[in-house]
Amino acid sequence: MKKFYVIFILLLLILPILHLRAQVVDILWQGETYTPPFYEGRSLWSKQSRITLVAIPQGLGSAANLNYKWTRNGTVLGNINGIGRNYISFLDSILSRPQIIKVEILSGQNVVLASTFVTVTPTASALAVYENNPLYGFMFHRETSGTHPLKEKEITFTAFPFFFSTSNRMDDIISYEWRTNVGEAETKNSVTYRSPDNTVGSSQVSVSASNKNQITQDASKNFLIEFGNQ
């Protein structure tokens, strides 16, 4: 009988704690930026890009029926709060600074049922270059960097802009520039280089990408092509 009372008392102590733990809310976010195919991970929020944050409640009933209160850097976002308002979206300014986003889920009597916050920081845009092989397509398993030996007579490279405000790397708002030791600059997304006949050596390649509409979204990289019998 004493054992029964002990178990009963323990249940009375534990059940409220379990109930409180079940009533939680999480925030998931993603930047509305470009990432190449087979990229593992979410699109990051970059400078001057848009970000979307979604509140994921647990143990509080249907997300569409809950009352949400969003706060950004201590300022209540009154115009986007209310029943079913479980997400917010905003565009980063040119100043680009960390943002503290808080969400509270309120009862009908404005009692806080659950709350959480997240600090999001805009990242810099990036640029990756991959070989576009005529037989196998884009060689996404091996990014071009450092020194790249030219095994065939010619090779095609393609630039992929990470975390730019575009849904397509071929978008006209993204401008590219390829430069080598010699020759004119190329302004396409892809470029093809041929090795000189009966010549052994190397050539420095630099490529840059920039967003015509967002001045803080730019990136560049350099690598070396080796050609001839090394």
Architecture of the 2-120 domain: Sandwich (2.60)
What does the mean pLDDT of the chain come to? 87
pLDDT value, residue 216: 93
According to DSSP, the β-strands at 112-120 and 99-106 are antiparallel
User: Is 50 exceeded by the pLDDT of residue 142?
Assistant: yes
Residues forming CATH 2.60.40.10 domain(s) in the chain: 2-120, 126-227
**Count of CB atoms situated within 10 Å of the CB of 174:** 22
CB 43, CB 118: distance < 8 Å: no
User: Is 70 exceeded by the pLDDT of residue 5?
Assistant: no
User: Is 70 exceeded by the pLDDT of residue 17?
Assistant: no
Greater pLDDT, 148 or 182: 148
Architecture of the 126-227 domain: Sandwich (2.60)
Banded pLDDT at 10 (limits 50, 70, 90): very low
By three-state DSSP, how is residue 19 classified? helix
